[in-house]
Amino acid sequence: LTLTEDIRPIRPDHNWADTGTWGLKMEKNLFGWDFSLSYVHGRYTLPVAKRITIIPPPADGTEPILQAELTYPRRQVVGLDWAGAIGDYGLWGEAAFFFPEAVTTTIDATALGFPAQEETALEDTVYGKYLVGMDYGTDRVYLNLQYVYGFPQEMDHRNLGHYLVGGVEWTIKEDKLKFPFNFVWEIRDLDGKQPKTAHFIAPELRVYPDSNTELALILRLIDGDTGTELGKLKTWDEVEFKVKYSF
């Protein structure tokens, strides 16, 4: 069945109480380490479906219309973060605890003879996201590595994934050649019999023939299992060649 989409965002009223975002943050340096505690009250930046209505095709024989009403749920967030160094290694961590507004999606296909249904799009269960990271650098090599639980677009405690995010850059020939390599590895359903995985890798070659010119060749490869966030993008592999000249 082919459907024509009709997306209608339900935006909050343009007043401070409905659209305003406010927060507080306290910072402190202890023994050379930075710590902070924060609170934010506002809305999610991505919408969820509030109502989905399937409208029968008109008499002219065009496709049925799938009409989706989207809403931006409220949320409260309590955050913690810290950063410091041990020797030549930089270390940091962040944690955020989300208190979301529940959203129920109504699926209305009564015009086609089916009963209306309701599904929970966003539960009001408190959930947390966090990350820990480190970096290390020498004159020729820079390494960055982070473990992330929950990407920004993941909005419900049932949909959080584990990610290993990192990059390494090797520089030679008096900074004339650079070889960056960035990657993301995603894993889900750790409690299941068969965890789902996906990956993104981006090797690069950057050449600097003079101080004003940069030539870059970038390869981006994505693959993954069905049910992963990166797996949705696995047909988006690409090669990029870039020339940058500054004057």
The rounded Cα 246 to chain-centroid distance in angstroms is 32
Q: What is the pLDDT of residues 108-136, one digit of tens each?
A: 988 888 899 999 999 999 999 999 999 99
Token code pair at residue 65: 């219309």
Residue pair 120/97 in contact (Cβ under 8 Å)? The answer is no
- Say how far apart CA 30 and CA 21 lie, in whole Å: 30
Q: Is the pLDDT of residue 88 over 70?
A: yes
**Which amino acid type is present at position 242?**
K
pTM: 0.86
Q: Is the pLDDT of residue 1 over 70?
A: no
Q: Is the pLDDT of residue 152 over 80?
A: yes
Q: Is the pLDDT of residue 189 over 90?
A: no
Cα 235 to Cα 24, 48, 222: the distances in Å are 42, 25, 7
Q: Where residue 222 falls among pLDDT bands split at 50, 70, 90?
A: very high
* Cα dihedral value 149, 68, 5, 154, nearest 10: 0
- Say how far apart CA 194 and CA 225 lie, in whole Å: 11
Q: What is the pLDDT of residues 190-221, one digit of tens each?
A: 877 789 999 999 999 999 999 999 999 999 99
- Selection from 197, 132, 191 nearest residue 165 by Cα: 132
